[in-house]
Amino acid sequence: METFSFLKEIEDKFREAAKTARENERIRIIAWLWYHTAYVTKDLSSIYAWPNLSKVMGELEGMIPLLVLFTGYENMFKVFDERNLPENIRAANYGGVEMVFREFKDKYKEAGRGNRNLAWAVRYFQGVLYYIGRLQYEFLNNQRRILVYRSRKTDKTMCLLEGGQAFTADGQYPDPDRGDKEGAWTSEYYEDDRYIYGNPVSPEAYALNKKVRLDKSEWELVLKRGDPGLIIHIPGGRKLDKDEVKQSFLDAVEFFDTYFPDYKWKAIICTTWFLDRRVRQFLKSGSNILNFQDSFYLVPVPPSSVSGVYRFLFQTDICDPRELKAVTQFQQDIKDYLIKGGKIEVGTGFLLRGDIIKGPGYYKDSFMDTLKSVEIPDN
């Protein structure tokens, strides 16, 4: 563990927490369960819900998740060596771990801080998260209830919905907080010997209550729920320069094809607060975030947490929006919107690996013409 210099700075607290864990049977059992979740079942989403141990451990409670994390650190080096990963990727991942725990060192007294840091850093130790240029990439299957087709003739893309999903009149999933008790319509999807029928999705993140018909001889299914993808994460602290983003995409293709050729990923997928369609109204033409949004085929998502915009834009937990500190005009615009009762949740979108070189706006600019060519006229 000499690779990680931050451990020396908290070594005494680390050892004290380890001693307590050895002497307290209940803490040992909890630590074992956490290890099993992190490294055996790999149910990362549940880590955020783990109880913290502040009542038993006091300000040292965050050290127990850290102990659990480092029981599996050798796995990262094993993956690095088995895959013969280059030194620049190894160094970037070491730096990623360091960043996580610099934050932990400063805030470890916060109840639950250790759990949150473990839930993120364990991805490095499992060997499923890699820092490539401006972005980070994680092995994860597509979880959205969509079916994406590509035309063999025109190379254009059409995203359809799985059947049986409820939507509002404006093409979003019903939100009880907005007063949506039920959907206005339900998506359909079916096939016959020649055609595929379904409800399309606009790349501007709304579903359409109309039908399209895709000829099976022309249209090929290229992405569905459960297919392997690369989920991207966006480290803060730097601008999201579009040239750096594009280079990261291209470098990622080369990296995973070279070192993980057995992982047949279909698309880059991103879920973040600034892909929420409602953010767009506050973005200037040509802005980095707008270019990033336009790189993806955005799809609607069910109502979700609003914590992302608070945590990543304002560096705070959810609070009364009037208390938010706004430094930039963008922050001020978002703050004013939240004060008026607006919501910023998360948005999500995909970028098919074959479309990476086509640049921002490709899906949005070609959608209407593609839709007209496959739309079933209303009777």
- For residue range 50-71, what is the model confidence (pLDDT) as tens digits? 777 777 777 777 778 888 888 8
pLDDT of 43:
82
pLDDT of 351:
98
Q: Are 171 and 203 in contact (CB under 8 A)?
A: no
Bigger pLDDT: 223 vs 17: 223
367 pLDDT higher than 80:
yes
pLDDT of 34:
84
Helix or strand run (H / E) with residue 138? strand 135-141
Residue 354 has, within 13 A of its CA and on its CB side, a CA count of 12
Tell me the pLDDT tens digit for each residue of 242-297.
999 999 999 999 999 999 999 999 999 999 999 999 999 999 888 999 999 999 99
Bigger pLDDT: 153 vs 13: 153
Place 22 in a pLDDT band, splitting at 50, 70 and 90: confident
- In 10 A of CB 7, how many CB atoms? 15
What is residue 185's three-state secondary structure? strand
The full 3-state SS of 270-313, as one line of letters, equals: EEEHHHCHHHHHHCCCCCHHHHHHHCCEEECCCCCCCHHHHHHH
CA angle 131, 137, 141 (to 5 degrees): 160
Predicted TM-score of the model (pTM): 0.91
Q: Are 208 and 161 in contact (CB under 8 A)?
A: no
Size (the chain), residues:
379
C-alpha to C-alpha distances, 34 to 24, 28, 66, nearest whole angstrom? 15, 10, 11
Q: Which of 98, 17, 109, 20 is nearest to 63 (CA)?
A: 17
pLDDT of 107:
62
C-alpha to C-alpha distances, 321 to 196, 308, 346, nearest whole angstrom? 46, 13, 17
59-85 burial code (b ≥16 CB/10 A, e <16): ebbbbbbbbbbbebbeebeebbeeeeb
Average pLDDT over residues 19-45: 85
Tell me the pLDDT tens digit for each residue of 149-206.
999 999 999 999 999 999 999 999 998 777 776 778 999 999 999 999 999 999 999 9
pLDDT of 110:
60
Helix or strand run (H / E) with residue 55? helix 54-57
Arithmetic mean of pLDDT over the chain = 89
Q: Which of 27, 35, 69, 70 is nearest to 52 (CA)?
A: 27
DSSP tag of 323: G
In angstroms, the CA 80 to CA 39 distance is 17
pLDDT of 17:
82
8 pLDDT higher than 60:
yes
Hey, where are the domains in the chain?
A: 6-127, 129-304+345-379
DSSP tag of 56: H
Place 89 in a pLDDT band, splitting at 50, 70 and 90: very high
Q: Which of 75, 151, 63, 144 is nearest to 104 (CA)?
A: 63
116 pLDDT higher than 80:
no
Q: Are 232 and 326 in contact (CB under 8 A)?
A: no
C-alpha to C-alpha distances, 329 to 35, 283, 288, 325, nearest whole angstrom? 44, 10, 15, 11
Pick from 56-60, 111-115, 307-311 the range whose average pLDDT is largest: 307-311
Tally helices (H) and strands (E) across the chain: 14, 16
371 pLDDT higher than 90:
yes
97 pLDDT higher than 80:
yes
